[in-house]
């Protein structure tokens, strides 16, 4: 039975069925064609929705009685959206799983909430994401085929699919936040659990809706994260104490992630997975050095008083201060990225005597050093420099 059940979870038709239930249909050919189909048996339905005709320039125009046609260019699949609530809900949820969200969300928790929680978020996020990304390029299972699946994202289509790192990141962040705060703050654990389940579920389902993963990819991503968190949770406090107090922390935090990035599993084609993994490890590296330095100089920025803490009330003044800290911090991080990326690219390209172009940036010896330098600087500035600036501007 398992020999049938597990492969069925990899069937792209299962993903296409979920998309159609949520009002997303594939349209491969002109609706006027007798061979038209929209996903697995959706052609007749979509024919009632709109009629398309080629225009003079080879693109497509359409008239719609209901729904909408999103065009992806000549010769590429097109799709029909009949339920915009699910469309925007899952596109938003998919954005929550992007690295850019976590690279802004994690520092924000450091500036506006509790560095104790941030340290655990960064550590678990880095471990889970590295193992998830590396697993993709070791297992090498493809993403769902289109057709029958509608694919709403193109950047990561060159990556392999098993496991879903979006599902892993959302599950790790949600439940790490819950576990790190449940004894530290006074709040309803039931509500916290519901929020964690809701976020991880939305992001996981968004990977099906966008056509990027099979059901098995998503399930395995969640289960793998649960196992990793279960194995590491008893050691969170021990590892946190070590990273703050050990004199070897800066050396280990820089050298080990860099070597892990440089020795990332090789592929026979270029994939953004290695670069994304380098970004994740670099951010964690820079943050760890920042955490260590702050502790050495007595700048922990943690709330004080007896545990558990009261959850701060969100007054207009508190909200404005949080927004100010966020805007100042993000501005500094954007400037850091621009400056360090420009300098590191010039240095690395000059070292290897290659021009700075897109092809050069895909090479291992170029991509890993410049991305590691850029994003480790961002992690360090976010945790060590920005809080000092907040103090100087009296925003703390």
Domain boundary (82, 109, 132) is at 82
Catalytic residue among 166, 269, 353, 390: 166
Q: Is residue 8 part of a domain?
A: no
**54 and 106 belong to one structural domain:** no
**149 and 208 belong to one structural domain:** yes
**148 and 293 belong to one structural domain:** yes
Q: Is residue 275 part of a domain?
A: yes
**Tally of domains in the chain:** 2
Q: Does residue 166 carry a catalytic annotation?
A: yes
**377 and 248 belong to one structural domain:** yes
Q: Name the nearest CA neighbour of 318 among 260, 395, 374.
A: 395
**209 and 357 belong to one structural domain:** yes
Looking at residue 28, its pLDDT comes to 61
Long-range pairs, 176-181, Cβ under 8 A, ≥24: 176/120, 176/121, 176/124, 176/125, 176/229, 177/117, 177/121, 179/120, 179/229, 179/233, 180/116, 180/117, 180/120, 180/121, 180/236, 181/114, 181/117
Sheet containing 24-27: which strands, arranged edge to edge?
24-27, 78-81, 68-70
**359 and 292 belong to one structural domain:** yes
Q: Name the nearest CA neighbour of 275 among 109, 105, 156.
A: 156
Q: Is residue 170 part of a domain?
A: yes
Looking at residue 160, its pLDDT comes to 85
**54 and 124 belong to one structural domain:** no
Give dist(CA 16, CA 14) in Å, integer. 5
Looking at residue 357, its pLDDT comes to 86
**95 and 52 belong to one structural domain:** no
**147 and 182 belong to one structural domain:** yes
**70 and 151 belong to one structural domain:** no
Looking at residue 392, its pLDDT comes to 93
Q: Is residue 6 part of a domain?
A: no
The two structure tokens encoding residue 89 = 């809900």
**57 and 99 belong to one structural domain:** no
Q: Is residue 11 part of a domain?
A: no
Q: Is residue 5 part of a domain?
A: no
Catalytic residue among 62, 70, 213, 353: 213
Residue-level pLDDT, tens digit, the chain, 396 residues: 566 777 788 888 999 999 999 999 987 654 444 344 333 444 434 333 333 333 333 333 333 333 344 444 444 558 888 999 999 999 998 888 776 777 788 888 999 999 999 999 999 999 999 999 999 989 888 899 888 898 888 766 678 889 999 999 999 999 999 999 999 999 999 999 999 999 999 999 999 999 999 999 999 999 999 999 999 999 999 999 999 999 999 999 999 999 999 999 887 788 888 999 999 999 999 999 999 999 999 888 888 888 899 888 889 999 999 999 999 999 999 999 999 999 999 999 999 999 988 888 989 999 999 999 999 999 999 999 999 999 999 987
**111 and 239 belong to one structural domain:** yes
Q: Is residue 12 part of a domain?
A: no
The boundaries of the domain holding residue 78 are: 18-82
According to the 3-state scheme, what is the secondary structure of the chain? CHHHHHHHHCCHHHHHHHHHHCCEEEECCCCCCCCCCCCCCCHHHHHHHEEEEECCCCCEEEEECCCEEECCCCCCCEEEECCHHHHHHHHHHHHHCCHHHHHHHHHHHHHHCCHHHHHHHHHHHHHHHHHHHHHHHHHCCCCCCCCCCCCCCCHHHHCCCCCCHHHHHHHHHHHHHHHHHCCCEECCHHHHHHHHHHHHHHHHHHHHHCCCCCHHHHHHHHHHHHHHHHHHHHHHHHHHHHHHHCCCHHHHHHHHHHHHHHCCCCCCCCCCHHHHHHHHHHHHHHHHHHHHHHHHCCCCCCCCCCCCEECCCCCHHHHHHHHHHHHHHHHHHHHHHHHHHHHHHHHHHHHHCCCCCHHHHCCHHHHHHHHHHHHHHHHHHHHHHHHHHHHHCCCC
Instruction: Find where tokens 């792209």 sit.
Output: 12
Q: Is residue 10 part of a domain?
A: no
Looking at residue 343, its pLDDT comes to 96
Looking at residue 1, its pLDDT comes to 58
């Amino acid at each position: 039975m398992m020999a049938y059940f597990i492969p069925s979870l990899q069937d792209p038709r299962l993903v296409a069925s979920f998309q159609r239930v949520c009002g997303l249909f594939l349209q491969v050919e002109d609706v006027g064609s007798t061979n038209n189909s929209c996903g697995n048996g959706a052609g007749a339905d979509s024919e009632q929705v709109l009629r398309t005709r080629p225009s003079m320039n080879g693109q497509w125009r359409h008239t719609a009685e209901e729904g909408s046609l999103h065009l992806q260019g000549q010769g590429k699949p097109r799709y029909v959206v009949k339920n915009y609530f699910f469309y925007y809900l899952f596109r938003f949820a998919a954005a929550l799983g992007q690295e850019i969200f976590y690279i802004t969300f994690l520092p924000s928790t450091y500036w506006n909430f509790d560095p104790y929680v941030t340290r655990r978020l960064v550590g678990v996020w880095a471990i889970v994401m590295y193992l998830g990304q590396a697993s993709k390029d070791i297992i090498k299972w493809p993403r769902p085929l289109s057709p029958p699946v509608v694919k709403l994202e193109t950047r990561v289509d060159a990556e392999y699919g098993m496991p879903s790192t979006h599902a892993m990141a959302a599950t790790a962040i949600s439940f790490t936040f819950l576990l790190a705060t449940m004894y530290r703050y006074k709040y309803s654990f039931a509500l916290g659990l519901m929020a964690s389940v809701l976020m991880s579920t939305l992001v996981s389902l968004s990977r099906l809706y966008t056509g990027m993963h099979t059901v098995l990819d998503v399930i395995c991503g969640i289960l793998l994260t649960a196992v990793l968190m279960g194995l590491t949770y008893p050691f969170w406090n021990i590892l946190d104490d070590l990273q703050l107090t050990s004199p070897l922390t800066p050396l280990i935090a820089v050298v080990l992630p860099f070597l892990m990035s440089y020795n990332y599993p090789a592929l026979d084609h270029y994939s953004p997975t290695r670069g994304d993994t380098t970004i994740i490890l670099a951010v964690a590296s820079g943050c760890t050095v920042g955490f260590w330095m702050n502790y050495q100089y007595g700048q922990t920025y943690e709330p004080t008083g007896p545990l558990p803490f009261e959850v701060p009330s969100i007054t207009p003044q508190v909200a404005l201060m949080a927004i100010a800290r966020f805007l100042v911090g993000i501005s500094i991080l954007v400037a850091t990225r621009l400056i360090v990326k420009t300098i590191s690219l010039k240095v690395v390209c000059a070292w290897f005597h290659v021009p700075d172009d897109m092809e050069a940036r895909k090479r291992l010896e170029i991509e890993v050093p410049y991305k590691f330098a850029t994003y480790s600087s961002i992690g360090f500035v976010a945790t060590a420099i920005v809080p000092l600036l907040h103090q100087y501007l009296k925003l703390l």
